Structure 1
Amino acid sequence: MLSASQIELVQDSFAAVVPLTNEAAAEFYRRLFELSPDTRVLFRNDMTEQGRKLFLTLATVVDALDRLDTIVPIARELAIRHIDYGAKESHYAAVGSALIETLRVGLGTAFDGDTEEAWSAAYEILSGTMLAAVRERA
């Protein structure tokens, strides 16, 4: 469970990244493909459009962090869709690492230890929910 201060840190830092959406998305995918090269084949679409979808999904999740019950069905559906795309359980750790590194670069000194911890906790909740859905479907 996230504390109110962690939710605020995630929401405030995400708001600071939104103006850099295109650059942040490009950095995220660059890092993801570096960390997990086998994910590259999962993305056949326009990467600018893919980045837009990534940030829309992140915005939905970040906005609802204080209402986790609304995120769970979205996360489960997203996980099941990603199975069909070819996503593997091992990709979730790479996505988390790429996200944290992208935020670190994009936010600079504003991405302090508390903010990183808040994002890590939020991602752990999201990825845990998604992985549970994947395992149930298997």
Structure 2
Amino acid sequence: MNPSQIKLVQDSFAKVAPISEQAALLFYGRLFEVAPSVRAMFPDDMSEQRKKLMATLALVVGGLSNLEAVLPAASALAKRHVNYGAKPEHYPVVGGALLWTLEKGLGDAWTPEVADAWTAAYGTLSGYMIEEAYGRAQAAE
């Protein structure tokens, strides 16, 4: 990711943060729509999970300028996700749901440049998390 992409991600997330509850509802609604099998990995009451999602996104987005600072937390999160049943093939599905959510939440502010920046950010982080949780071979697939 280059500095311009980091700024686009951070600026666009700042526009979504005020509607974080709605964004989290959109995200999980979309995720469970496109991948109903993952619903069983989550609690029945999703209110805390939605808060965790948005808090984690805020932490990562805020740390993009100093990625080394957020990588230990991303590694720990990736390893916890293995215990919940997450598999490498879930990461692209989650990424698709995230991008869809951002597109809906940002409306006209969702430009091709913003989409590219978020795609790069998610690709960087998810690749790292897959590698941390499953090893380098899985991350390359």
TM superposition score normalised by structure 2:
0.93
Q: Distance in 2 between matches of 1:77 and 1:45?
A: 24
Who is 1:125 aligned against?
124
2:109 is the counterpart of 1:110: yes
| 1:46 Cα deviation from its structure 2 partner | 2.2
Q: Distance in 1 between matches of 2:48 and 2:110?
A: 26
Q: Which amino acid aligns with 1:105?
A: K
Percent identical: 50
Any residues of structure 2 matched to 1:23-102 within 5 Å, and which?
A: 23-102=22-101
Q: Could you say what secondary structure the match of 2:43 adopts?
A: coil
| 1:86 Cα deviation from its structure 2 partner | 1.0
Q: Which amino acid aligns with 2:15?
A: A
Q: Distance in 2 between matches of 1:11 and 1:125?
A: 15
Q: Distance in 2 between matches of 1:32 and 1:121?
A: 20
The number of equivalent residue pairs is 137
Who is 2:13 aligned against?
14
Q: C-alpha deviations, 1:38-84, integer Å up to 9, x for none?
A: 11001115212111100000000000101111122111110000001
- Structure 2 segments unaligned to the other structure (5+ residues): none
- Residue range with higher mean Cα deviation, 104-113 or 65-74: 65-74
Q: Distance in 1 between matches of 2:34 and 2:126?
A: 17
Q: C-alpha deviations, 1:106-128, integer Å up to 9, x for none?
A: 00010100000000000001100
Q: Distance in 2 between matches of 1:72 and 1:24?
A: 24
TM superposition score normalised by structure 1:
0.95
Supply the RMSD in Å over aligned alpha carbons: 1.4
